[in-house]
């Protein structure tokens, strides 16, 4: 067949693959296997690669190999750079600060052709619900495609002098290695279920890797090795129909025949085999119109542009609607993506930028997305912060009080840990915590009998608890350090684990300050406990932490996870424009489903009498949905952190429960003597009389 004969059905196949991807990102539950469209793209890319080589006689010069790679770069990179800049610019006014930072880092990695590597090491799950709010998520595929093109160009030139037998053997070995890497987790699960010794592997992390994609590209090259069967009329048609069924059934009927993970399994093999059969045995009769029709062909011809623009469109639409997507919204998202994709194809992709302009675009985009430029004091970060200030309640005339006596015994291993303080005009967190990582809760002159610790959620709850304990007979202190039961098992890009020395110092410090009889822990439980990639029994480690506290006569009070929302600056802008709209809500069912595993674990700890559990959702909104808005006031500062009003509201509602838990003792509490009342052990930050603690204005 000539290129003219088969090109339309190849374009139609691209259009079908694009449709799969759009449906997956539109509704990942209903179209759970739509991600297979990416596999179709890779098979087509491999077919076109190897066919071009065969058409040239298989003797490419170094100049031809380099020209092929430069041609791919010239086609892919300019649209990618434009979409990165456009998305980040609009995202300043729409995305949350965390999402904008993620998008910036991903865009920078894409400029360096390593977006897939970044996502792999950032532990970003392509199939997680949160991925539907990542506008630049599709960039990982572009990095994989360019990496494969570079490998093909280099390998094509380097392997030309090898004999045919050695070349075939090498290709077979590479293909087998790629297959084994793809299904390594599946093999691991098989062996584990049979009771065989296995290596440490708790998750399948091969989705973003380049090696597991090599066999799919090579499958495209195998199309050229299959017999054409032109003299047979029935067999090509049967094989074509079989290919369509293998391609469409896993997506259309939501079949997930995986062997361990839904993204890597039999469904992938079915898709690749189906694509190969459809490419090779597309008939010349009326069945050809299944792929060779105007709708799919035109969709396939602009598939690259639609693929780039659809996720920013989807994310923006979800944020504008507050995440409440109706079937009409889904239709609007699809139509908008196609229309904007067509416009993007005509204005950007169709153009051929000069090399000097391409180099300038790449340099500017790379420099503008350097991660250090997006830190706390950067212009984009300050702009994002100012967008929220006018509608964010804050503490005015509030002065933090430090505890000097406890600070004298604090070991140096427990260094301050900057977190998100929501007190007005507090921007330089390190400067505050360098004075003291111990911030008083309640009357600073009273004896401190409880300790609040955890992560940023403890920092946000600290200010609210301080207000409600001011008139109480009990007082405590917030320890802003990396001391929590989960820091010793969680290890991410921005967090360092709690070392054994630090844990020992923490428990020794508690022994020296025996007036502390209770420890309150507030943190992002689910993410820290279950989204770890280390082969550690996290639940056992946390239980051991609780047990160590109990052995020392200390009662542990755990604050259950804070309600989570998909927050964005659009919510703030809607309030600034006085737009009445329903914001994202968190129903009790949604909360329980999202935190089902951690709540079950914490309740088991309650049954063992290791902790007292305080659950904020039922306290904040008994019998109804929790909204991130009270009247015209926001309660959240971002996706899962409370602002000043939210912290005060939660603390007021939790106060009776926490007070009751503070009255409970462990079996060893009687053996833990308390210190005598102390005078003026608290010190107010800054100037002023230590007896004046400031007022709270909301």
Q: pLDDT class for 449, splitting at 50, 70, 90?
A: very high
Please check whether residue 16 is in contact with residue 291, taking contact to mean a CB–CB distance below 8 angstroms. yes
Estimate the crossing angle of helix 211-222 against helix 36-55, to 10 degrees: 50
DSSP string, 569-628: HHHHHHHHTT---PPPEE-HHHHHHHTHHHHHHHHHHHHTTSEEEE-HHHHHSTTS-EES
Instruction: Using alpha carbons, list the distances in angstroms from residue 539 to 179, 488, 502, 536, 546.
Output: 34, 11, 20, 9, 11
Dist. CA 171–CA 344, nearest whole Å? 38
CA pseudo-torsion sign 424, 427, 431, 436: positive
Classified as helix, coil or strand, 159 is: coil
DSSP string, 511-563: HH-TT--EEEEES-HHHHHHS--SS--HHHHHHHHHHHHHHTT-EEEEEPPPP
User: What percent of the chain has pLDDT above 70?
Assistant: 74
Q: What does the pLDDT read at residue 140?
A: 95
Q: Which H or E run contains 264?
A: strand 264-265
Which residue has better confidence, 553 or 422? 553
Structure token digits, residue 101: 């930072």
Dist. CA 177–CA 211, nearest whole Å? 8
In terms of DSSP bridges, do strands 475-479 and 555-559 run parallel, antiparallel, or are they unpaired?
Answer: unpaired
pLDDT averaged over the chain?
A: 78
Among 65-74, 179-188, 534-543, 566-575, the range scoring the smallest mean pLDDT is 566-575
Contacts of 369 (CB under 8 A, 6+ apart): 84, 88, 104, 105, 107, 108, 111
Q: Is the pLDDT of residue 198 over 80?
A: no
CB-based burial label for 507 (10 Å; 0-12, 13-18, 19+): middle
Dist. CA 342–CA 338, nearest whole Å? 6
State the DSSP code for 349. I
Instruction: Using alpha carbons, list the distances in angstroms from residue 688 to 79, 404, 684.
Output: 58, 16, 7
Domains of the chain: 41-234+293-373 (no CATH), 396-561+596-616+647-684 (3.40.50)
Structure token digits, residue 296: 């799919």
Which residue has better confidence, 195 or 147? 147
Q: pLDDT class for 310, splitting at 50, 70, 90?
A: very high
Provide, for the chain, the percentages of residues in helix, strand and coil under a 3-state DSSP scheme, each rounded to the nearest 5.
Answer: 55, 10, 35
* Closest to 73 in 3D by CA, of 148, 3, 161, 4: 148
Q: Is the pLDDT of residue 698 over 90?
A: no
Classified as helix, coil or strand, 202 is: coil
- 285: left (phi > 0), else alpha (psi -120 to 50), else beta? beta
Please check whether residue 232 is in contact with residue 281, taking contact to mean a CB–CB distance below 8 angstroms. no
Query: Residue range 540-546: average pLDDT?
Result: 85
Most confident of 92-96, 267-271, 555-559, 640-644: 555-559
CA pseudo-torsion sign 127, 537, 592, 634: negative
Q: Residue 234, CB half-sphere, CA atoms under 13 Å: how many? A: 0
Q: pLDDT class for 617, splitting at 50, 70, 90?
A: low
* Closest to 399 in 3D by CA, of 469, 466, 476: 466
Q: Is the pLDDT of residue 241 over 60?
A: yes
- For the segment 59-76, what is each residue's pLDDT rounded down to a tens digit? 777 888 888 889 999 999
Classified as helix, coil or strand, 401 is: strand
- For the segment 315-362, what is each residue's pLDDT rounded down to a tens digit? 988 877 766 788 898 999 999 999 999 999 999 998 888 889 999 999
Q: What does the pLDDT read at residue 373?
A: 64
DSSP string, 429-483: HHHHHHH-SEEEES-TTS-EEEEEEESHHHHHHHHHHHHHHTTSS-EEEEE-BS-
* Terminal-residue alpha carbon distance, the chain: 75
Contacts of 520 (CB under 8 A, 6+ apart): 450, 451, 452, 453, 458, 476, 557, 558, 559, 658
Among 377-386, 454-463, 601-610, 669-678, the range scoring the smallest mean pLDDT is 669-678
Q: pLDDT class for 125, splitting at 50, 70, 90?
A: confident
Q: Which H or E run contains 179?
A: helix 164-182
Which residue has better confidence, 392 or 358? 358
Dist. CA 145–CA 147, nearest whole Å? 5
In terms of DSSP bridges, do strands 264-265 and 401-403 run parallel, antiparallel, or are they unpaired?
Answer: unpaired
Q: Is the pLDDT of residue 390 over 50?
A: no
Structure token digits, residue 355: 């090399």
Residue 271 phi/psi, 5-degree rounding, is -65, -45
Dist. CA 522–CA 456, nearest whole Å? 8
Q: pLDDT class for 680, splitting at 50, 70, 90?
A: very low
Looking up tokens 């830190």 gives: 375
């Amino acid at each position: 067949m000539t290129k003219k004969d088969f090109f339309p059905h190849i374009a139609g196949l691209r259009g079908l693959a694009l449709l799969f991807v759009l449906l997956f990102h539109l509704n990942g539950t209903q179209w759970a296997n739509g991600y297979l469209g990416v596999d179709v793209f890779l098979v087509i890319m491999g077919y076109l690669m190897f066919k071009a080589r065969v058409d040239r006689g298989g003797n490419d010069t170094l100049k031809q190999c380099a020209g092929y790679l430069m041609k791919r770069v010239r086609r892919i990179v300019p649209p990618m750079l434009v979409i990165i800049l456009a998305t980040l610019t609009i995202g300043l006014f729409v995305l949350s600060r965390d999402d904008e930072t993620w998008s910036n880092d991903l865009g920078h990695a894409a400029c360096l052709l390593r977006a897939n590597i970044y996502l792999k090491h950032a532990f970003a799950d392509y199939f997680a619900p949160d991925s539907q709010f990542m506008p630049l998520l599709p960039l990982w595929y572009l990095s994989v495609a360019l990496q494969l093109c570079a490998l093909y160009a280099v390998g094509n030139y380097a392997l030309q002098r090898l004999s045919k037998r050695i070349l075939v053997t090498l290709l077979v070995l590479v293909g087998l290695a790629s297959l084994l890497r793809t299904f390594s987790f599946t093999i691991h699960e098989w062996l584990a279920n049979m009771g065989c010794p296995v290596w440490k592997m708790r998750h399948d992390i091969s989705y973003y890797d380049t090696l597991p994609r090599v066999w799919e590209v090579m499958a495209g090259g195998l199309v050229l090795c299959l017999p054409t069967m032109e003299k047979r009329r029935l067999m090509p048609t049967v094989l074509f129909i079989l290919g369509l069924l293998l391609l469409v059934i896993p997506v259309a009927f939501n079949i997930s025949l995986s062997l361990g993970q839904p993204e890597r399994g039999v469904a992938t093999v079915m898709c690749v085999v189906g694509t190969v059969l459809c490419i090779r045995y597309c008939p010349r009769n009326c069945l050809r119109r299944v792929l060779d029709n105007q709708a799919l062909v035109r969709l396939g011809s602009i598939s690259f542009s639609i693929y780039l623009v659809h996720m920013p469109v989807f994310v923006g639409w979800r944020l504008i609607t507050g995440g409440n997507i109706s079937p009409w919204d889904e239709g609007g998202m699809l139509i908008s993506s196609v229309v904007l994709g067509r416009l993007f194809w005509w204005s950007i992709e169709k153009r051929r930028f000069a090399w000097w302009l391409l180099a300038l675009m790449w340099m500017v985009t790379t420099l503008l997305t350097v991660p250090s430029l997006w830190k706390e004091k950067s212009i984009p970060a300050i702009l994002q912060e100012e967008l929220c200030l006018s509608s964010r309640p804050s503490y005015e005339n509030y002065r933090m009080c430090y505890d000097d006596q406890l600070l004298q015994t604090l070991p140096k291993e427990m260094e301050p840990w900057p977190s998100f303080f929501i007190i007005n005009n507090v921007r330089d967190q390190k400067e505050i915590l360098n004075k003291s990582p111990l911030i008083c809760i309640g009357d600073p002159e009273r004896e401190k009998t409880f300790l609040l610790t955890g992560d940023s959620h403890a920092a946000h709850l600290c200010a609210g608890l301080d207000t409600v304990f001011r008139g109480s007979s009990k007082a405590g202190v917030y320890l802003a350090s990396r001391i929590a039961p989960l820091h010793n098992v969680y290890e991410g890009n921005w967090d360092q684990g709690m070392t054994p020395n630090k844990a020992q110092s923490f428990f020794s410090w508690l022994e020296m300050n025996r007036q502390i009889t209770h420890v309150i822990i507030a943190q992002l439980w689910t993410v820290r406990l279950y989204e770890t990639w280390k082969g550690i029994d996290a639940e056992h480690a946390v239980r051991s932490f609780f047990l160590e506290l109990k052995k020392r006569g200390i009662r542990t009070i755990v604050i259950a996870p804070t309600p989570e929302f998909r927050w964005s600056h659009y919510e703030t802008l809607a309030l600034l424009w006085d737009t009445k709209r329903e914001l994202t809500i968190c129903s009790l069912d949604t909360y329980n489903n999202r935190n089902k595993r951690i709540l079950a674990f914490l309740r088991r700890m309650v049954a063992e009498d290791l902790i007292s559990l305080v659950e904020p959702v039922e306290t904040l909104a008994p019998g109804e949905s929790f909204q991130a808005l009270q009247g015209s006031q926001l309660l959240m500062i971002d996706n899962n952190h409370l602002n000043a009003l939210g912290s005060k509201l939660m603390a007021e509602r939790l106060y009776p429960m926490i007070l009751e838990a503070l009255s409970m003792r462990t079996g060893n509490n009687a053996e833990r003597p308390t210190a005598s009342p102390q005078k003026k052990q608290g010190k107010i930050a800054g100037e002023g009389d230590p007896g004046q603690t400031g007022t709270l204005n909301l």
